[in-house]
């Protein structure tokens, strides 16, 4: 084995991490928007009130602090992340492929993290247990991802609703995952595959002595490339969803000072919209436009 | 026959409609309405309209965009669209919604799970152009190509599209084939929002190109900023009309009804959708009766925009939205009222209780709440003696999307109805899962050409189905029935829908607000307050 494999793995993970951070940064630095509604993220089960009502049902809601992120909400969010509960509710045929695909990726992530942990703890007896768990996760993850990605690709090609909105990139993304899993699994099933613990140890600690089946090596390179590529595609919706969810769920009353400061910054922007009724004229701020009257240029006295 | 339409067809260079709406292709109309029409669902557009306006989407035309006279003019318009598109993705121009916009652009997985949530898509017989993701997909491809300047790799990853004038003209119309009800957003597993996308598209057309339906702009926000109300009524006319309503209410209820104006320091400033005063005067009249009977110190305002809670800017233009909303708050500040209560108008609820929140400073951030909450408090305060047997007819409840799905004011209206309407029954589905009436997002007031047909045939079809199903045990003309719609736009749409389908004659179903039912149940009011006349 050359050093290519460990390098591919670390570069893939590094780029992935960097990509995720960039995404988080990109969303976090978008200006604080107007409130568009209470729950921009799909949050059906997140309301604690049984009938799913909000604090707007009270005449004096503005006087009462209303809490956010209760246990129920967080539990609903976790169900959404790990069980894809939202999709299960509304699109069961897709869920049956999407769930294994996502569960597979989560398990691969868990397997990878456990492997790293196993390497750290390798002098201790506990390492054997950690590696066993890592192995179970990795195997289950590979099979589920393979199964899920093939199923999703199949649906994209055959479902009349999905086909017109499927672009080559979708199929290549899913194909990339399927191919990586398939190759790793195929190689791993061969007799020349070294034991799991040795393999992981060698891969994560840059050891050259180990010989891996060629199929597995190619699979690892493709898998690493896919890991690095995810954050730059719509597959990164998992980051966006929860960033936006949390950014938007913040309570205006609790964040009053921050929001006011951010709004002041927003209102100081100079828009360049060209329609005559906006009367932006290139030199007016949003605040000035908001208090101008396009009919009479009259100002609202403040 | 339904045409097969792809995203790339938006750029098709001929003036034929992308799709035709034939009655047999639409979702079957409720069986109780008898035999189905054959042939085109909409009255054909007039030849002169087709000749001079861009009507190449679906056989109707809401905007009447004039056809460019030359290729140069087309190119200028396309350049203007492109410039608007670029601005839409900058913080200087669109800090208001940039975050949600980018989120939906970049993260939608095109899983189509949202499609069946859309009543327009379903009612049209699943016409591709009405799929919630169709217009979004067009915008997404334009975004990656022209805003992100993606090359071949991007086209491969996100899909390609040709930007030309036919596409721009169709996209403008298509942005007004969405009720902004956001039922699709509610079911999206990742929280992407195709309703928002329609809203953002409308902004490019309005804020950059000056293209908007005249009902929303010239006769809407501009008129409101000029004379004080989208109805065109100046303050003196409103006062006259309300005086007349007071007299009528006094006569019908047997109580002395008086509406106070411009009371400084009042506990409550009530702002109605001024359309109520002209179209459904019994609603503001009923509020006057209830508030007086409950002993509340309330007032109306006769200041510019202070007597009209309407804010059409919410649907198409951020600058107009902000101008109107700030004026309304300013009126309350000047009057030094303690609270603002929004009358039975869905979009006004959302604009004044939600959207304006972050831009109103401390002085303008006067406590505000829903008239539905206030009615609930009054009904359960014991201040009114109520006789539910007076409302002993089948009643169902329309859930306005803005109030129910988006703001989640769900129970107060139900608590009231359970208390005063023994034969109240829900539509299926209801609450946050309700369907839009078909008039949301400003569509209820758009009437150019045959657009009214489209609203009744397509946008309102699902609602009609729901209403008739809710009354399935009492259809026919012998039993009067009531759709309680606590929203002016819903009422406008239901009125048009019922007229189009002859519902009053066939089934004696009336529609109206919530406060009217409360007054109808008040023991001290002369019996028979509700007027079972079609209006
Ligand atoms: S908006 Fe949501 S539900 Fe609709 S296609 Fe996109 S990801 Fe799927
Ligand atoms: S917002 Fe409503 S009308 Fe518009 S696409 Fe979504 S579901 Fe359909």
Domains and CATH numbers, chain A: 4-32+84-232 (1.20.950.20), 268-297 (no CATH)
Q: Which residue has tokens 């292709």? A: B25
Indicate the residue among B311, B344, B377 that finishes a domain. B377
B336/B406 same-domain check:
no
Q: What residues line ligand 2, using a CB cutoff of 6 Å? A: B 117-118, 120, 132, 178-184, 194-195, 198, 436
B124/B203 same-domain check:
yes
Q: B152 touching A, CB under 8 A?
A: no
Position B530 in a domain: no
Cβ distance B103 to A294 less than 8 Å, yes or no, reads no
Q: Which residue has tokens 């595959």? A: A193
Task: Provide ipTM, 2 decimals.
Answer: 0.92
- Residues in chain A with CB shorter than 8 Å from the CB of B195 are none
B337/B391 same-domain check:
no
Q: Compute the average pLDDT of residues A268-295.
A: 92
B484/B509 same-domain check:
yes
B108/B235 same-domain check:
no
Cβ distance A91 to B80 less than 8 Å, yes or no, reads no
**What ligand has the least distance to the C-alpha of B140?**
1
d(CA B163, CA B167): 6
SS3 B425: strand
Cβ distance B208 to A273 less than 8 Å, yes or no, reads yes
B312/B342 same-domain check:
yes
- Domain count within chain B: 3
What pLDDT is attached to residue A65? 61
B158/B124 same-domain check:
yes
B26/B171 same-domain check:
yes
- B349's tokens: 């609820």
pLDDT classification of A192: cutoffs 50, 70, 90: confident
Domain span at residue B193 reads 7-208
Q: A47 touching B, CB under 8 A?
A: yes
Position B59 in a domain: yes
Position B138 in a domain: yes
Q: B79 touching A, CB under 8 A?
A: no
B31/B155 same-domain check:
yes
Position B87 in a domain: yes
Torsion of CA B187, B188, B191, B192, to 10 degrees: -130
Indicate the residue among B377, B406, B433 that finishes a domain. B377
Pocket mutation for ligand 1, best pick of B113, B185, B186 (most atoms within 8 Å of C-beta) = B113
Position B65 in a domain: yes
Cβ distance A240 to B107 less than 8 Å, yes or no, reads yes
Residue pLDDT, tens place only, A5-58: 999 999 999 999 999 999 888 888 889 888 866 443 334 444 445 667 788 888
Pocket lining: B186 vs ligand 1, CB cutoff 6 Å: no
Strands across the sheet with B368-370, in order? B298-299, B268-271, B339-342, B368-370
Q: Which of residues 257-276 of A touch B (CB under 8 A)?
A: 259-260, 263, 266-267, 269-276
What pLDDT is attached to residue B68? 95
Position B435 in a domain: yes
Q: Compute the average pLDDT of residues B37-61.
A: 91
Cβ distance B95 to A286 less than 8 Å, yes or no, reads yes
**What ligand has the least distance to the C-alpha of B402?**
2
B153/B251 same-domain check:
no
What pLDDT is attached to residue B40? 84
B358/B482 same-domain check:
no
- Closest to B203 measured CA to CA, from B321, B348, B380, B377: B321
Pocket mutation for ligand 1, best pick of B118, B128, B188 (most atoms within 8 Å of C-beta) = B188
Cβ distance A52 to B322 less than 8 Å, yes or no, reads no
Q: What is the mean pLDDT of chain A?
A: 85
Q: B159 touching A, CB under 8 A?
A: yes
Cβ distance B191 to A40 less than 8 Å, yes or no, reads yes
Look at residue B423 and tell me whether its pLDDT is greater than 70: yes
What pLDDT is attached to residue A48? 41
What is the distance in A from the centroid of ligand 2 to the CA of B360? 29
Contact A246, A24 (CB under 8 A): no
Position B533 in a domain: no
Indicate the residue among B315, B349, B377 that finishes a domain. B377
Torsion of CA B425, B429, B434, B439, to 10 degrees: -80
User: How much is the pTM?
Assistant: 0.94
Residue pLDDT, tens place only, B74-87: 999 999 999 999 99
What pLDDT is attached to residue A243? 67
Q: Compute the average pLDDT of residues A139-157.
A: 97
Interface probe for A, chosen from B79, B191, B431 (most Cβ of A below 10 Å), is B191
CATH number of B257's domain: 3.40.50.1860
B325/B390 same-domain check:
no
What pLDDT is attached to residue A59? 81
Q: Which residue has tokens 């070294």? A: A194
Q: Omega of the bond prior to B429 within 30 degrees of 0, cis?
A: yes
pLDDT classification of B357: cutoffs 50, 70, 90: confident
What pLDDT is attached to residue A47? 44
Position B221 in a domain: no
Q: Which atom of ligand 1 is nearest to the CA of B132?
A: 4
d(CA B353, CA A125): 61
- Taking phi over 0 as left and psi of -120 to 50 as alpha, with beta for the rest, B279 belongs to alpha
Q: Give the gap in angstroms from C-alpha B245 to the nearest C-alpha of chain A.
A: 27
Q: Which atom of ligand 1 is nearest to the CA of B110?
A: 5
- Closest to A84 measured CA to CA, from A69, A70, A103, A71: A103
What pLDDT is attached to residue B458? 96
Look at residue A208 and tell me whether its pLDDT is greater than 80: no
Cβ distance B359 to A62 less than 8 Å, yes or no, reads no
pLDDT > 70 fraction of chain B, expressed in percent and rounded: 99
Look at residue A207 and tell me whether its pLDDT is greater than 90: no
Q: Compute the average pLDDT of residues B204-227.
A: 96
Pocket mutation for ligand 2, best pick of B128, B178, B192, B429 (most atoms within 8 Å of C-beta) = B178
What is the distance in A from the centroid of ligand 2 to the CA of B181? 5
Contact B308, B348 (CB under 8 A): no
């Amino acid at each position: 084995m050359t050093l290519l494999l460990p390098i591919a793995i670390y570069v893939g993970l590094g780029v992935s991490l960097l990509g995720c951070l960039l995404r988080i940064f990109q969303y976090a630095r978008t200006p604080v928007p107007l409130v568009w509604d209470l729950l921009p993220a799909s949050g059906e089960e997140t309301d604690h009130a049984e009938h799913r009502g909000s604090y707007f049902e009270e005449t004096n809601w503005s006087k009462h602090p209303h809490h956010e992120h209760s246990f129920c909400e967080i539990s609903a969010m976790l169900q959404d992340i790990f069980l894809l509960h939202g999709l299960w509710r509304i699109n069961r045929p897709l869920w049956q492929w999407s769930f294994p695909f996502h569960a597979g990726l989560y398990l691969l992530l868990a397997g990878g993290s456990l492997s790293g942990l196993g390497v750290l703890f390798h002098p201790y007896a506990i390492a054997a247990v950690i590696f066993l768990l890592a192995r179970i996760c990795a195997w289950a993850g590979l099979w589920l991802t393979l199964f899920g990605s093939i199923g999703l690709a199949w649906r994209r090609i055959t479902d009349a609703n999905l086909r017109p909105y499927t672009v080559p990139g979708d199929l290549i993304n899913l194909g990339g995952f399927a191919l990586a899993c398939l190759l790793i699994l195929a190689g791993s099933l061969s007799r020349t595959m070294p034991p799991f613990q040795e393999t992981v140890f060698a891969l994560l600690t840059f050891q050259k002595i180990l010989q891996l089946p060629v199929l597995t090596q190619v699979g690892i390179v493709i898998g690493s490339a896919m890991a690095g590529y995810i954050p730059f595609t719509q597959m990164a919706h998992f980051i966006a969803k929860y960033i936006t969810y949390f950014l938007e769920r913040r309570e205006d009353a609790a964040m009053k000072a921050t929001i006011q400061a951010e709004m002041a910054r927003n209102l100081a922007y100079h828009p360049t919209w060209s329609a005559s009724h906006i009367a932006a004229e290139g030199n007016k701020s949003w605040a000035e436009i908001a208090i101008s009257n396009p009919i009479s240029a009259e100002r609202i006295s403040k | 026959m339904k045409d097969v339409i792809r995203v790339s067809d938006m750029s098709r260079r001929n003036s034929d409609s992308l799709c035709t709406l034939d009655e047999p292709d639409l979702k079957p109309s409720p069986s109780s309405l008898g035999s189905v029409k054959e042939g085109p669902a909409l009255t054909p557009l007039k030849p002169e309209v087709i000749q001079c306006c861009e009507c190449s989407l679906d056989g109707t035309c809401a905007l009447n965009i004039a056809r460019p006279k030359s290729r140069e003019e087309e190119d200028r318009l396309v350049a203007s669209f492109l410039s608007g598109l670029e601005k839409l993705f900058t913080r200087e121009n669109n800090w208001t919604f940039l975050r949600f916009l980018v989120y939906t652009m970049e993260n939608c997985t095109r899983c189509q799970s949202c499609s069946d949530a859309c009543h327009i898509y379903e009612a049209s017989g699943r016409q591709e152009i009405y799929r919630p993701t169709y217009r979004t997909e067009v915008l997404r491809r334009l975004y990656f190509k022209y805003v992100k300047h993606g090359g071949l790799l991007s086209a491969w990853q996100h899909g390609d599209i040709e930007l030309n004038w036919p596409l721009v003209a169709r996209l403008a119309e298509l942005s007004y084939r969405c009720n902004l009800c956001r039922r699709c957003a509610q079911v999206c597993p990742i929280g992407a929002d195709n309703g928002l996308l329609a809203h953002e598209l409308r902004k490019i057309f309005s804020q950059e190109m000056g293209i908007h339906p005249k009902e929303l702009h010239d006769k809407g926000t501009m008129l409101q900023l000029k004379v004080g109300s989208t109805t065109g009524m100046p303050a003196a006319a409103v006062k006259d009309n309300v005086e007349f309503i007071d007299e009528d209410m006094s006569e019908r209820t047997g109580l002395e009804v008086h509406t106070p104006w411009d009371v400084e320091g009042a506990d409550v400033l009530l702002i109605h959708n001024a359309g109520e005063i002209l179209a459904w005067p019994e609603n503001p009249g009923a509020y006057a009766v209830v508030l007086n009977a409950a002993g509340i110190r309330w007032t109306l305002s006769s200041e510019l925009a202070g007597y009209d809670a309407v804010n059409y800017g919410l649907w198409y233009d951020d600058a107009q939205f902000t101008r109107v909303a700030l004026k309304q708050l300013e009126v309350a500040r000047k009057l030094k009222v303690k609270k603002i209560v929004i009358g039975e108008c869905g979009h006004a609820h959302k604009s004044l209780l939600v959207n304006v929140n972050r831009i109103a400073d401390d002085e303008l951030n006067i406590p505000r709440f829903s008239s539905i909450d206030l009615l609930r408090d009054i009904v359960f305060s014991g201040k009114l003696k109520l006789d539910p047997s007076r409302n002993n007819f089948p009643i169902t409840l329309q859930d306005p999307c803005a109030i129910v799905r988006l703001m989640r004011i769900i129970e107060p209206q139900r608590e009231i109805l359970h208390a005063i309407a023994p034969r109240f029954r829900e539509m299926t589905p209801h609450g946050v899962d309700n369907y839009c009436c078909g008039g949301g997002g400003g569509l209820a007031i758009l009437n150019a050409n045959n657009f009214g047909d489209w609203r009744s045939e397509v946008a309102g079809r699902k609602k009609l189905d729901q209403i008739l199903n809710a009354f399935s045990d009492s259809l026919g003309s012998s039993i009067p029935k009531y759709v309680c719609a606590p929203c002016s736009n819903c009422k406008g749409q239901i009125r048009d829908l019922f007229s189009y389908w002859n519902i009053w004659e066939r089934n004696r179903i009336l529609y109206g607000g919530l406060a009217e039912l409360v007054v109808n149940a008040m023991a001290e009011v002369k019996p028979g307050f509700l007027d079972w006349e079609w209006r």
